[in-house]
Chain A
């Protein structure tokens, strides 16, 4: 059977993705930015592997792993919220989303502890290339977590399925990016 080429709404291929198509333009842009940053990190490490490994030893790998689990769980709760909304459970969906945001906030709390530790130890963004990239990449991601929580808040309030899918898509992207950041910055050595 011939496929109908023109998808409804004129968004072309973008319309086959969940949520608002412009969100996917943003998601791809973010993935390219973080991808470029992580690629740059690998190349910078190539130029100074010993320095990078020595700096990396200052990071708290357990907290990094903990935050990975925190974000994955928050992402799961957000996905459940979308599922519940699709099943027509308005208040159930809102509860899932509230739980997702609460768990997401834990990520910020843990990350603040980490930043405070590093800053107390005198390790800041100007210390060396490793810490410049550490602060830039995780800091940029940190801002996305804050933005993500705001977006989740907005879509919990105006909770059409389209909105929820859009907000959750952003949140999953934030999740996905951390899943890449954690091993590459905290672990590989």
Chain B
């Protein structure tokens, strides 16, 4: 670690991991409710549990992105962060805002709009947090070296903030409501977040493989072009059945099919760079997460997205368990794993140690990935069965729900595996391995 202000990332990563644990525990609880439907139905109804599960996910991923930016921008821009004070203030404001939102949800205070349930005041706080962050990062970038990695990351962050503004527009017409709702939801996860993800992966690959920056940047440009080309009009695959004109079925089907391309490019890019640059970096766990992220994002976002993106197929699968199958693996593969990769890479530097607990961290990788893969397979099977029974054969919803109950038990089991993996990961990140901690004291920069 070369710059003092990179330490600003530390609390962000801690908060990210804390909320990660909260998120998967919420998921575990929600998965349990699927198996025992009346569990907690009076105290914390299912929709509140789900709200906490999804909101905690998004907030911790944002904590991770903010942390990643504070960690890598100084190194890329070769200068300190413009204002450490703003970064610290932003952290507390965001943390308190998130906590307030969760407490509010538990008391039934929310706006009810899926994923954008935050009360207005929390939304305003989010915008203020984003503005503080963007000001800080942009000022740092202006005075420092401008690399493709930091530029793409910053553009992604600006896009993230701008598209969130559509959260404030909530037309009473339900079709319009959904249309603009996707401007936030889709253009985040299938648009600007992909830019952030590609930038973070590029940074990690430059640092860990020692490959020529020029080559990585060229790939980054290609990936960003493909992402924007396919992702923007790919929004159309949400406009099939919400009341928008029929031609969206064609636009959405064609462009969102091609959304696989940027993810394919990321896989090719990652493996090519690692093959060329070698995998001798001491932080083997971070390299594993980086490569794993590319692969799982390709399957989760790319392949599982394509499975139900064509309008004639989506006509049957819409709103079945196919959707959470895709949603879970896509979020995990793309955005959870990229965060875990940068945290795995940065934490040893932030704590002034050698990369430690490699074995434990890599175990958590395999446990989490196995759990998520199994969960995805199980939900896919449930979804296929549900589609067939309910949409093709016309059997009633509740009857079908009974038929696919077995898969929900399996899903709960896979959820337990994931939670175990998460706990191991957090332990590996925060514990102190005595032998390596001592080695770290002698040469804290060794892993640079």
Contacts and interface: CB of A to CB of B under 8 A. Distances in A.
Interface of A: 9-12, 14, 21-22, 25-26, 29, 32-33, 36-37, 40, 125-126, 132-133, 135-136
B246 interface: yes
A21 B254 CA distance: 24
A26 B218 contact: no
A132 B246 CA distance: 8
A22 B225 contact: yes
A11 B247 contact: no
Nearest to A12: B218
Interface string B229-257: 11000000000000001110011011101
B222 interface: yes
A9 B250 CA distance: 38
Contact of A29 (B229, B247, B251): B229
Contact of B214 (A10, A33, A37): A10
B381 interface: no
B interface majority secondary structure:
helix
Given A25-B226, A36-B257, 13 more contacts: A9-B214, A10-B217, A12-B218, A21-B222, A29-B229, A29-B258, A29-B261, A32-B258, A33-B255, A33-B258, A36-B254, A36-B258, A136-B251
B212 interface: yes
B225 A37 contact: no
Nearest to B213: A10
Contacts of A135: 247
B254 A40 contact: yes
Interface of B: 212, 214-215, 217-218, 221-222, 225-226, 229-230, 245-247, 250-251, 253-255, 257-258, 261
A29 B254 contact: no
5 contacts: A25-B225, A25-B226, A26-B229, A29-B225, A36-B254
Contacts of B229: 26, 29
A11 B257 CA distance: 26
A30 to B, nearest CB: 8
Contacts of B250: 37, 40, 132-133, 136
B233 to A, nearest CB: 9
A22 B222 CA distance: 7
A126 B246 CA distance: 7
A40 B249 CA distance: 11
A40 B253 contact: yes
A126 B244 CA distance: 12
A76 B117 CA distance: 57
A36 B217 CA distance: 29
A37 B214 CA distance: 35
A14 B257 CA distance: 23
A40 B312 CA distance: 12
A123 B247 CA distance: 15
Contacts of B258: 29, 32-33, 36
Nearest to B229: A29
Contacts of B253: 40
B243 to A, nearest CB: 14
Contacts of B225: 22, 25-26, 29
Contact of B254 (A14, A25, A33): A33
A10 B226 contact: no
Nearest to B212: A10
Contact of B222 (A25, A33, A40, A125): A25
A9 B257 CA distance: 31
A10 B218 contact: yes
Contacts of A26: 225, 229
Nearest to B249: A132
Nearest to A41: B250
Q: Give the top 7 A-B pairs by smallest Cβ distance, nearest first.
A: A10-B214, A10-B215, A36-B254, A29-B229, A25-B225, A132-B247, A10-B218
B318 to A, nearest CB: 20
Contacts of B246: 126, 132
B141 to A, nearest CB: 22
Nearest to B255: A33
Nearest to A29: B229
A33 B261 CA distance: 12
Contacts of A9: 214, 218
Contacts of A32: 258, 261
